[in-house]
């Protein structure tokens, strides 16, 4: 369900607006004034809708680890993630800066110790922070402990409207502190400030190619040139398109991610900005989303939303995967994303939420499928065979498929109604066959059909002899049997008698002499 006020949709959970989402939006003043002001106009209409793309996941689930307030001993809400050159993580918590070295958590309380909003570092490694009413930096003392120092004293802030400092941009010796009312620039060399009145027109600020860019509601994408906020040729294409992120990728090109108009691919033709949608179909689907943050995660784009978790999108604008509460996130409300590039956390995506901090090992070669994709029972084997990806368990045989929503699922091979111990590819001449060793008999699997091969109880394993490929040994719950293999098919040769073996045979092999 959605509320509609003017032309902005606010998603509801079930039949009521989620309290967490509403508080999240209002606290951050989404979209830094625009939606906050629209919300005050009141609710005009209510609509029901369905988003069929909400849980697409075609590549398995990455490992997801949630850190809750009981872990780091502070408020649940975290607004920003930052990593220093050593790989140490920092988080702008609701009332402190959290420092995490992979094992221990520390809390740093600025002198104006309420409502931390943003973190960034300059090229010398000095960490700066923004709060709900000021900003400062961290400096180590003699023991190496980071101590906060305030930059925004009353002399700096006087005569300027200020509110939450949501973004910090460091460009060489100049540090920009952005709030919805004012932009402050601190020059380290001269220890001086320059302030711009933003007239409530700037949505977000960005750092690209050693230049400060700004998203203006009325002017589109503009930039800082000297001490002036100047228009960019072609930048007005993004007027009324609130830009969330500028994401550099190859050949001096950009992905431009917007709040409610999708994702664009852009670049500069000399001084003119040229932009086009990455994928029109994707942008249509993203228009009713509350996109809140975005980063490059390797070669893909990770998009954080309010209410629907994290979308992973490739460079062609194809939705690869969605990680949300159903798939392990502590919350679907994503305040900030950071793709770690230093230390042991390289390739890890960090997400800050209203319920803590989440670590997603999205670059790991190890992912998982589980009961959320339909797999049940103790998993016993995995085989890719003739266009099918099979998974066996003691609940039966499953194959990978895609449901009507585009979601990767596993469905049962309904013709096989028994638990499966092992899947074995058997070669007969030039032809390969897939055989399932089950709790009741051997079965040949062809697509979604199965054919019974034996009259044996509890066939645990099948081994085709290398020394004699026309013969395969069947491991049983008690003893073992033989199976004839030929181009014309299989033949059950029965249980071997008088072998002296009456126990379960879990495995069989042969040595180089064929014994």
DSSP result, 366-410: --B--GGGT--S-EEEEEEETTEEEEEETTEEEEEEE-TTS-EEE
- CB of 313 closer than 8 Å to CB of 293: no
> The tokens 């995490």 sit on which residue?
100
385-398 pLDDT tens trace: 999 999 999 999 99
Looking at residue 26, its pLDDT comes to 53
Cα–Cα dist 313/297, whole Å? 10
Task: Compute CA distances 122 → 174, 175, 275, 281, 363, whole Å.
Answer: 8, 7, 30, 39, 27
Looking at residue 502, its pLDDT comes to 73
Domain 75-302 has CATH 2.130.10.10: yes
CA dihedral 269→272→277→278, nearest 10 degrees, is: 40
Looking at residue 20, its pLDDT comes to 56
Which tokens is 480 given?
């073992």
Which tokens is 314 given?
């490739």
Looking at residue 29, its pLDDT comes to 52
Establish how many alpha carbons lie within 13 A of residue 250's alpha carbon, considering only the half-sphere containing its beta carbon: 4
> The tokens 């266009």 sit on which residue?
387
- CB of 41 closer than 8 Å to CB of 6: yes
**Shortest CA distance to 224 belongs to which of 243, 211, 237?**
211
**How is the chain split among helix, strand and coil, in percent rounded to 5?**
10, 50, 45
Helices (H) and strands (E) in the chain, counts: 5, 43
Q: Which CATH class is domain 374-495?
A: mainly beta
Looking at residue 405, its pLDDT comes to 60
Give me the residues paired with residue 494 across strands: 482
**Which residues does the chain have with pLDDT short of 50?**
1-17, 30-57
Model-level pTM?
0.80
Looking at residue 27, its pLDDT comes to 56
The domain locations on the chain are 2-47, 75-302, 374-495
Looking at residue 31, its pLDDT comes to 43
- CB of 188 closer than 8 Å to CB of 173: yes
């Amino acid at each position: 369900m959605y509320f509609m006020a003017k032309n902005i949709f606010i998603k509801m959970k079930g039949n009521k607006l989620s309290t967490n989402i509403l508080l999240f939006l209002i606290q951050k003043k989404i979209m830094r004034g625009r939606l906050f002001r629209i919300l005050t106009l009141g609710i005009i209409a209510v609509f029901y809708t369905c988003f069929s793309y909400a849980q697409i996941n075609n590549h398995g689930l990455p490992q997801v680890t949630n850190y809750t307030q009981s872990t780091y001993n502070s408020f649940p809400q975290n607004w920003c993630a930052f990593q220093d050159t050593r790989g140490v993580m920092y988080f702008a918590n609701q009332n402190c800066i959290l420092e995490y070295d992979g094992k221990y958590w520390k809390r740093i309380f600025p002198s104006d110790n309420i409502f931390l909003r943003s973190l960034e570092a300059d090229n010398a490694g000095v960490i700066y922070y923004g709060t709900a009413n000021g900003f400062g930096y961290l400096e180590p003392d003699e023991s190496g402990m980071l101590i906060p120092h305030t930059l925004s004293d009353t002399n700096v802030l006087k005569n300027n409207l200020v509110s939450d400092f949501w973004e910090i941009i460091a460009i060489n010796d100049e540090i920009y502190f952005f709030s919805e009312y004012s932009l402050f620039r601190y020059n380290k060399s001269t220890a001086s400030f320059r302030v711009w009145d933003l007239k409530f027109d700037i949505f977000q600020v960005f750092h690209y190619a050693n230049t400060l860019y700004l998203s203006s509601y009325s002017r589109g994408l503009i930039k800082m040139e000297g001490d002036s906020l100047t228009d960019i040729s072609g930048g007005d294409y993004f007027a009324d398109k609130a830009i969330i992120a500028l994401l550099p990728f190859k050949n001096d090109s950009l992905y431009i991610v917007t709040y409610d108009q999708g994702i664009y691919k852009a670049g500069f033709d000399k001084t003119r900005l040229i932009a086009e949608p990455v994928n029109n179909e994707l942008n249509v689907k993203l228009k009713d989303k509350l996109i809140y943050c975005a980063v490059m995660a390797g070669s893909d784009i990770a998009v954080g939303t309010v209410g629907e978790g994290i979308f992973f999108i490739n460079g062609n604008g194809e939705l690869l995967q969605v990680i949300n509460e159903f798939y392990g996130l502590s919350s679907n409300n994503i305040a900030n994303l950071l793709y770690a590039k230093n230390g042991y956390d390289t390739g890890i995506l960090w997400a800050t939420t209203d319920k803590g901090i989440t670590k997603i090992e999205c670059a790991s070669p190890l992912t998982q499928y589980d009961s959320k994709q339909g797999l049940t029972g103790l998993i016993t084997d995995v085989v890719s065979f003739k266009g099918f990806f099979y998974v066996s368990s003691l609940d039966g045989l499953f194959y990978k498929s895609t449901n009507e929503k585009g979601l990767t699922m596993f469905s049962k091979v309904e013709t096989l109604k028994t638990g499966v111990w092992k899947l074995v590819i058997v070669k007969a001449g030039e032809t390969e066959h897939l055989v399932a060793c089950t709790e009741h008999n051997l079965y040949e699997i062809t697509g979604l059909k199965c054919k019974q091969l034996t009259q044996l109880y509890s066939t645990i394993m099948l081994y085709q002899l290398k020394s004699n490929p026309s013969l395969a040994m069947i491991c049983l719950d008690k003893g073992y049997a033989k199976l004839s293999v030929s181009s014309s098919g299989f033949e059950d040769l029965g249980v071997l008698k008088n072998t002296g073996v009456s126990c379960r045979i879990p495995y069989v092999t042969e040595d180089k002499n064929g014994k």
